[in-house]
Structures are given as structure tokens and as C-alpha cells.
A and B are shown apart, each in its own frame.
Chain A
Amino acid sequence: MKTYLLPSKFLIPSGIIFYASVLIGVLLIVFPDLALTMSIELTVPNLLWKDADNLLVEKTFWIKNNMIDELLTLLLIGSGLIHLFSKEKQDDELIMQLRFHAMKWSYLLNFTVLAIGSLLVYGLPYFNVMLFCLFSQLVCYHLVFRIFVLQHLRK
């Protein structure tokens, strides 16, 4: 069966980077002061500068920004997608079906959390729910898929 997946040599390195960036991301959310100790300040364009509120960012096109969280986001998305589209060591059509099932469960979990958050969280803390849901689908997919693969290999 022809699949458009990356070779399995990408699986472990991308997995290590992905889970490390998830861990760093969680640490930065739990300990926000940690972000202040790391700083890569750059002048970057803000495309929606007219809508800026002057509280979090200046109302100018070019703004100075600490790029740590942006770099972490790119690292998480990049490594997460490479990990998602890498072949397993022994990849076959059953593994493809497990991918589909994991995708289905991650969608369900992600939107269940979003629905519950929408009903129970209001005000600025809702931003945290949205932030969580931004990455939870990717993280849930990987965790559920890994559980499915381990169950499959145990038989």
C-alpha cells in the first residue's frame, strides 16, 4: 500500500524534540517567570497592529518581542507534525487504521475539553483553555496513537 509518510528514521528524533518542547511549554505555563530568564528579543512585524490594544503589545507595525514562545510553538508544531507523518519501524495497513482511530479520538477529546471549557470558564482564564486546545489535539493524537501501537505490538 502506497503511503505518503516520512521514513522511520525521523520518528525518534522528532519524538524527542516534540515531547521536550511540550514539557518546556508546560513548565513555562506553570512557572511564567521562567520565560523572563530566557530572552531572544527581536523586532518583528505585527500584521494586525491596528487591532492591538496597547496593553500587551504596542500599536505599531514593528514591535519588539521576546521570541522564546514563538520559537517553542514552531518547534512543537514542526516536530509534532514530523512525528505524526513518520513511519513506524514496521508500518502496515493496520498501523494506518490505528492512525485514523487515534485521530478520531484526539478530535473527540479536544473538542470535548473545548466545549466543557466554553461552558465553565469565563473571562481572561478562557484564554488558557484556548491555548490548551491549540496544542491538545496534537498531543492527544500522539499519546492515543502510542497507546494503540503498544497494545497492538503486545499481541
Chain B
Amino acid sequence: MKNTIKINRTIQGLSQEQLAKAVEVSRQTINAIENNKYFPSLELGLKLSQILKCSVNELFSLD
């Protein structure tokens, strides 16, 4: 699974720390998600899509 969180985060002008705060996880967790080291839960995926103002399908896709 790949994701476009880093691109969408940059478009929204958010740092990893700010995004982490908004979705109530640690900065390290956002870093792990961006680097495909960790696949978030559905709940966190939906929160990310809400903050990054795009659909879950745009954020995550299968390889």
C-alpha cells in the first residue's frame, strides 16, 4: 500500500508535528506512515483525510 500523505500535507502547509497534533498521534507515527513503515487504522485514515481535505482513496492506494 502506498500513500500521498507527504504531498497532501505539504499542499496544506502542515508540518509532521502539526498534522500529528491534529489527528492525536505522535510525530514519529506520521513519519512511519509517510515512509510506509506503518499502515494506519481506518479511524486514523479517515481523520487524516479530513485534515488533509481529500478522500481516503486519494490518500491511500494499493501497489
Contact = CB atoms under 8 A, between A and B. Distances in A.
Question: Which applies to chain A's interface (DSSP): helix, strand, loop or mixed?
Answer: helix
B57 interface: no
Interface string A11-44: 0000000000000000000000000000000000
A90 B40 contact: no
A119 interface: no
Interface of A: 1, 90, 92-95, 97, 152-153, 155
A155 B25 contact: no
A93 B28 contact: no
B62 to A, nearest CB: 20
Contacts of B44: 1, 93
B41 A1 contact: yes
A152 B28 CA distance: 7
Contacts of B41: 1, 93
Interface string B18-42: 0000001110110110000010110
Nearest to A149: B28
A90 B38 CA distance: 17
Contacts of A152: 28, 32
B13 to A, nearest CB: 23
Nearest to B23: A92
Contacts of B25: 92-94
A94 B38 contact: yes
B63 interface: no
Nearest to B24: A92
A93 B42 CA distance: 11
Given A1-B44, A93-B29, A93-B44, 4 more contacts: A92-B24, A92-B29, A93-B41, A94-B29
